[in-house]
Amino acid sequence: MSDVLLELKGVGKSYPPTVQSSKRLRAFWQILTRGRSEEGTSVLRDIGFQVRRGQSLGIIGANGAGKSTLLKVITGVLAPTSGTITRTGSQAALLELGAGFDSEYTGLENLRMNAAFLGLSRKEVDDKLDDILAFADIGQFIHEPVKHYSSGMVVRLGFAVVASVTPDLLITDEVLAVGDESFQKKCIRWIEGYVEQGGTLLMVSHNMYQVQKLCAHAMWLEGGRARAMGDVFDVTQRYLAWHERRDAEDVASRQNRPSGSICTVESVTLPDEEEGELRLAMGASLRVRVTARSPDERAPVVLVGLIRADGTPVYGVASDHDQIELTPGPDGRVELEIRFPELNLLPGGYAARAHTLDPEGLRIHDTREVAFTVTGRSRELGMVRLDHRWNVL
Amino acid sequence: MSSQNVALFIDLTARELRTRVLSVGAGWFWLFATPILLLLVYNFVFGVIFQARAPDLDVPFVAWLAVALWPWLAFSDGVLKGSEAIKKNAELIAKVAVPRALLTISTQTASFLLQLVGYLVVLLALAVLGVELTLVGIPYVLLVLATLYLLSLGLALLASAVQVFVRDLEQLLPTLMMFWFFLTPILYAPELLPEDMRVWLHLNPMAWWMEEIRSALFHGKMLPDLNFLPLLAGALLMVWVGKRIFDRLSPHFEDFL
């Protein structure tokens, strides 16, 4: 399927001067007579791309790069100053969960209103009401005014409404970073399911892991322009590399450690590897060497996992699970090796994957992997040989 | 309007009505009591203190006044409340791509309808008190009120859009509406004015509307005639102008809110 859901051509946006009332009046007059205002601060320039069905796009970039403005322009909340936007198919936006809620009304009334904004008819809402309420899971609070809600409840209700719509194109702005752990998981599961069922996502996120997981393509915005666009891994890696370089420049200029907040995986290698991919006999020992880099004197948490070639996780362990103390060297580097003395993986293609997490072990910052093959002759089934004894009774 | 927008319009209007009526403890009660109380006050001021007389008619002055006052209230409330709709919903506009005109239209419609309920209460009260209203004129009154609604709608669209850019309008508009109110023969009969000023009164379009409503309810005017044409044309023109300017300005609302 290749139908285009969204197409932007040469889209630019500048915010008109709005503080001085004389300038406001002039802009007003210009819009009225010419349909546009002349002056302004430019925040987006010459953005053009297509989103095809099933090809989710992630938008990444530093703070202030124009990501949120771009989303507002795409959803129609803001009018572009130049260029054209063509939308086909249904579209739902989650610029902010619970946006458009009126705190005086009950959750149920807001739910209905929000659903109407998203284009659901009254009957459709009635049909889906049970699902929405089950998803939001806020119980009897649904009959209370929203002003009595905790922020988590607002978010849950907001997401539940959108989850009931299943649009052709779902636009989200960093909304997955809210709510408690279990609700976040629920949202991510829903979005993954939505993407798997052919839904298309246009998301802004600072979480490269999520972008890589959910999107096929990525666009890197920088100063209101598209700096890079294309395959998600390509773009996110260039983006992260750019961050690293910028951090490194900071180091050089201040004779100090990097101030960026990203712990990176510099390399993950298998020391037993000679040339090409490592081939390992079943039951042999495997060593995985990870070099991580921390932006400050706090050490990251390093997580090493083994996955099957198809991505099925087999086993993963993080340095903080085993209370391994890591101390970054003067250049912020941490080097460590993990050894699996008897790797009882059944023959097949595998990869060792290393992640760095922030020092609190909450967010994944970076990911790298290296592939290896387990060889052997075995007709056992599954992924791993479990210790076992047969007893004939 | 697409069917989706019609549904949204109905939802928004219903919500607005519910807020206005139910936000007060005994909302339903006040919906009916306020017009009656107002009627009593006007009767006291104009009937008892000023001893005003309806021109060429054998009805209490307060009836003559009320028949025109409530349509004006509906019109004016529609314009004033509708003009604030965009600013009031600034947060929504910044986050959700909702058709903006619907916000103004639904607020204006709700305000207009609520005053019409008051009008109905007042007319019933007058009928109960034995004031002779020519009820055959009711269909024509509805027609005239429909054009008045459209006029109010057009002005509300215009004012709500301009108000985003020209903040002063918020202060100015109520005063302007008050001027207009007093320049229209609602609290007084045109016959009270000196002859040479009475001509000028006819330049005020609102006077045409009031005249038609009174002819229908006091003289039993049943069918629209040539006098109705300017009402219809004026109302449609206002809606057209209001919508055009609104559409022109609305893509830029979020920049200026």
Mean predicted confidence (pLDDT) in B180-203: 85
- The answer on pLDDT for A142 being more than 60 is yes
The confidence band for B102, taking pLDDT boundaries of 50, 70 and 90, is very high
Contacts of B96 in chain A (CB under 8 A): 77, 93, 95, 99-100, 117
- When CB atoms are compared, the residue of A37, A93, A105 closest to B97 is A93
Question: Contact A76/B92, CB-based, under 8 Å?
Answer: no
- Residues A92 and A165 sit within 8 Å (Cβ to Cβ): yes
> What does the alpha-carbon distance between residue B204 and residue A131 come to, in Å, rounded to a whole number?
57
Residue A258: per-residue pLDDT = 41
Say yes or no for a CB contact (<8 Å) between A24 and B248: no
Q: Does A103 touch chain B (CB under 8 A)?
A: no
pLDDT value at B56 more than 80:
no
DSSP A115: H
Confidence check: pLDDT of A178 > 70: no
Arithmetic mean of pLDDT, A306-335: 85
With both helix axes pointing from N to C terminus, report the angle between B205-219 and B228-249 in degrees, rounded to the nearest 10.
140
* A97-101, A138-142, A261-265, A380-384, range with the lowest pLDDT: A97-101
Pairing verdict, β A333-340 and A217-222 = unpaired
A198 — contact with chain B (CB < 8 Å)? no
Three-state secondary-structure class, residue A358: coil
CATH for the A1-90+167-174+187-256 domain, from 3.40.50.300, 3.40.50.1820, 1.20.20.10, 1.10.150.120? 3.40.50.300
Closest C-alpha to A59, from A223, A172, A196, A200: A172
Q: A124 and chain B: CB distance < 8 Å anywhere?
A: no
Residues of chain A with CATH 3.40.50.300: 1-90+167-174+187-256
- If one counts every other C-beta atom within 10 angstroms of the C-beta of residue A178, the result is 19
- Answer yes or no: is pLDDT of A259 > 60: no
The residue in chain B having the minimum alpha-carbon distance to the alpha carbon of residue A172 is: B95
In chain A, CATH 2.60.40.770 sits at 257-375
The mean pLDDT value for B138-147 works out to 94
Q: Which range (A293-307, B66-80, B148-162) has the least confidence?
A: A293-307
pLDDT, one tens digit per residue, over A107-123 is 888 888 888 888 788 88
| Alpha carbon distances (Å) from A334 to A264, A273, A302, A320 | 10, 21, 9, 14
In this prediction, residue A211 has a pLDDT band, given cuts at 50, 70 and 90, of confident
On the 0-12 / 13-18 / 19+ scale of CB atoms within 10 A, B71 is buried
Candidates A11, A31, A175: best to mutate against B (most CBs of B within 10 A) is A31
Sequence-ordered list of residues with C-beta below 8 angstroms from that of B2, at least 6 positions apart, any chain: none
Backbone region of residue A375 per phi and psi (left: phi > 0; alpha: psi in -120 to 50; beta: other values): beta
Encode B130-185 in three state secondary structure: CCCCCHHHHHHHHHHHHHHHHHHHHHHHHHHHHHHHCCCHHHHHHHHHHHHHHHCC
Return the residue of A nearest to B98 by Cα.
Answer: A117
Residue A345 is inside which H or E element, if any? none
The pLDDT, as a whole number, for residue A98 is: 65
Check CB contact under 8 Å for A37 and B256.
Answer: no
CATH ID of A257-375, from 3.40.50.620, 3.30.160.70, 3.40.50.300, 2.60.40.770 = 2.60.40.770
Q: Work out the minimum CA distance from A230 to partner chain B, whole angstroms.
A: 28
Q: Are B213 and B67 within 8 A, CB to CB? A: yes
Q: Which residues of A touch B95 (CB under 8 A)?
A: 77, 95-96, 99-100
Q: What is the CA radius of gyration of chain B?
A: 19
Using the Cβ of A33 and the Cβ atoms of chain B, whether some distance falls under 8 Å is answered with no
> Using CA atoms, how far apart are residues A87 and A77, in angstroms rounded to an integer?
14
Could you give the percent of chain B with pLDDT greater than 90? Answer: 47
User: What would the pLDDT profile of B171-184 be if each residue is shown by its tens digit?
Assistant: 999 999 999 999 99
> With 60 as the cut, is the pLDDT of residue A257 above it?
no
Task: Indicate if the pLDDT at residue A28 is higher than 60.
Answer: yes
Highest mean pLDDT among A178-182, A268-272, B110-114: B110-114
To probe the interface with A, which of B2, B17, B96 has the most A CB atoms within 10 Å? B96
Distance from CA of B202 to the nearest CA of A (A): 31
The residue that leads in pLDDT, A19 or B141, is B141
Highest mean pLDDT, choosing among A134-138, A373-377, B2-6, B98-102: B98-102
pLDDT confidence of residue B175 = 95
pLDDT band, residue A255 (cuts 50/70/90): very low
pLDDT at A175: 63
Q: Is the ipTM of this complex over 0.85?
A: no
pTM of the model: 0.73
Q: How many CA atoms lie within 13 A of A365 on its CB side?
A: 26
Average pLDDT over residues B129-140: 87
pLDDT computed for residue A1 by the predictor: 46
Average pLDDT of every residue of chain B? 89
Q: Please determine, for residue A46, whether its predicted confidence score (pLDDT) is greater than 70.
A: yes
* Smallest CA–CA distance from B245 into chain A, residue: A32
| Rounded mean pLDDT, A157-168 | 84
Of B4, B23, B97, the CB nearest to A77: B97
Average pLDDT, chain A: 83
Distance from CA of A29 to the nearest CA of B (A): 9
Task: Considering only residues A341 and A249, tell me which one the structure prediction assigns the higher pLDDT.
Answer: A341
More confident site: B144 or B167: B144
pLDDT for A253 = 56
Asked if B11 lies within 8 A of A75 by C-beta distance, the reply is: no
- pLDDT bucket at B86, cuts 50 / 70 / 90: very high
Model confidence band, residue B41 (pLDDT cutoffs 50, 70, 90): very high
Residue from the list B11, B15, B165 with its beta carbon closest to the beta carbon of A28: B165
Among chain A residues, CA nearest to B97: A77
